[in-house]
């Protein structure tokens, strides 16, 4: 059985906003951002416990080419992405989603 990926509604909105921002500047860069996010989710699914635990049982995966992090929780059935957070804006703003 494949692991399930749940995306918090606010995290999906954050991803879309970041994608749109990159797209307005360069379709190529927006495409790379989408690829990097897909890679991040795939890597997280392969080994969700690989990244250190943060507050409230969440973990943080840093994107390699973009200043974003995916904050997620692990469940027996898969993961839930809680935030697609810019690394230099409002730290911890997403914690109310827990």
**Would 92 be classed as within a structural domain?**
no
H or E segment to which residue 5 belongs: strand 4-7
The total domain count for the chain is 1
**Would 97 be classed as within a structural domain?**
no
**Would 95 be classed as within a structural domain?**
no
**Would 96 be classed as within a structural domain?**
no
Contact predicate 36/65, CB 8 Å:
yes
In this structure, what DSSP letter does residue 87 have? T
In the predicted structure, residue 95 carries a pLDDT above the cut 80:
no
Q: Check residue 48 and give its pLDDT.
A: 94
Q: What is the pLDDT of residues 67-81, one digit of tens each?
A: 999 999 999 889 999
**Would 12 be classed as within a structural domain?**
yes
Q: What is the pLDDT of residues 44-59, one digit of tens each?
A: 999 999 998 987 889 9
The whole-angstrom separation of Cα 26 and Cα 29 is: 5
Domain span holding position 83: 4-87
Residue 77 has which token pair? 């059935």
Split at pLDDT 50, 70, 90, the class of 97 is confident
Residue 73 has which token pair? 């929780």
Q: Check residue 2 and give its pLDDT.
A: 62
| Global pTM value | 0.88
**Would 98 be classed as within a structural domain?**
no
**Would 77 be classed as within a structural domain?**
yes
């Amino acid at each position: 059985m494949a692991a399930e990926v749940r995306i918090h509604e606010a995290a999906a909105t954050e991803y879309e906003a970041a994608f749109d921002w990159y797209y307005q500047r360069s379709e190529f860069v927006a495409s790379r951002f989408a690829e990097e996010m897909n890679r991040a989710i795939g890597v997280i699914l392969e080994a969700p416990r690989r990244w250190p635990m943060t507050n409230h049982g969440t973990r943080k995966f840093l994107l390699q080419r973009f200043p974003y992090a995916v904050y997620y929780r692990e469940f027996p059935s898969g993961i839930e992405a809680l935030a697609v957070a810019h690394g230099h804006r409002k730290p911890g703003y997403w914690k109310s989603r827990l």
